[in-house]
Amino acid sequence: MTDDEMKILRDLHLGRINFEEFTSLYPIEITNSYLIRELGRAIDCHDVKALAYLLSVFYKRGFFSELCKYLTDLMIQSWHKEHENIAMVLQFDVKCPDSVDNLIKAMEMKYKYLFDRCDYEPFVTKCMYAIADLGTDYSKQKLTELSLSEDPILAEAAKFQLDRLAEEALQAESIDENTRDNTDHGLEGLSPEKRQKLEEMLDMDKGTLTPEMCREFDKQYIHSKNKKKSTDS
């Protein structure tokens, strides 16, 4: 990147310009291939500023699956301080099934700056959520192993995720059961508050909701609550 390009990226990063202004000012079309190329260069050069600026672009433009390798590799590289942000990206923005091992390594590397900021435990929490939300057999296996760790922070965080997954499974089972009941008995199992919200969300008249819509709404409701818990932590 040229100095002029870095200045425009910096202005976006600092909030001096919005994304629309950024794209009009930036001399190169912002494509996936361009961003991947520049991210690779930033990693090769250990360019802390370029990495932070490029992440700002992704936050505005969106992450995509081709970034998985770069993001997971960054989790175990110590030259930058974006580990906590990337852990959140791996939870909320792009699912990378192959990220489990590097997320675990990142927690075990115990980056000093996280302790200096008192951010190590929140970092562990974010990594554990990213692992758990993959929902694969391997991610669950690694959570089980981590729950037996001699490190109390890792063990407690892993146990929390296992308990959360078990609770969500029970809730999903309950939702399915309610849906089956509601098929023959209207939608009595859906609370008036949830029904009203769902009707407003779908802009539908009363009485037109199907059990499938209610089940999907409840699943999203559960996910939004857990996402809020992760953000608050």
Residue 113: inside a domain = yes
Taking the C-alpha atoms of residue 6 and residue 22, their distance in angstroms, rounded to an integer, is: 11
Mean pLDDT lowest for which of 1-10, 39-48, 120-129, 206-215?
Answer: 206-215
Residue 83: inside a domain = yes
Domain count, the chain: 1
Residue 32: inside a domain = no
Residue 17: inside a domain = no
Q: What percent of the chain has pLDDT over 70?
A: 74
- pLDDT, one tens digit per residue, over 205-217 is 545 555 566 556 5
Residue 154: inside a domain = yes
Residue 169: inside a domain = yes
Q: What tokens appear for 233 in the block? A: 């932590």
Burial of 206 (0-12, 13-18, 19+ CB in 10 A): exposed
| Whole-number average pLDDT of the chain | 86
- pLDDT, one tens digit per residue, over 72-87 is 999 999 999 999 999 9
Q: What percent of the chain has pLDDT over 90?
A: 71
Which domain covers residue 142, as residue numbers? 63-232
Confidence of residue 219 (pLDDT cuts 50, 70, 90): low
User: Residue 136: pLDDT above 80?
Assistant: yes
Q: For residue 87, what pLDDT is reported?
A: 97
Q: In the Cβ-directed half-sphere of 172, how many Cα atoms lie within 13 Å?
A: 10
Q: How many whole angstroms from its chain centre is CA 31?
A: 22
Residue 222: inside a domain = yes
Residue 37: inside a domain = no
- The residue with greater pLDDT, 199 or 141, is 141
- The residue with greater pLDDT, 218 or 167, is 167
pLDDT, mean of residues 114-125: 96
Q: For residue 1, what pLDDT is reported?
A: 87
pLDDT, mean of residues 17-35: 96
- Kindly report the CA angle at 230 between 156 and 118, in degrees rounded to 5? 65
**Local structure of residue 189 (DSSP, 8 states):** T
pLDDT, mean of residues 61-81: 97
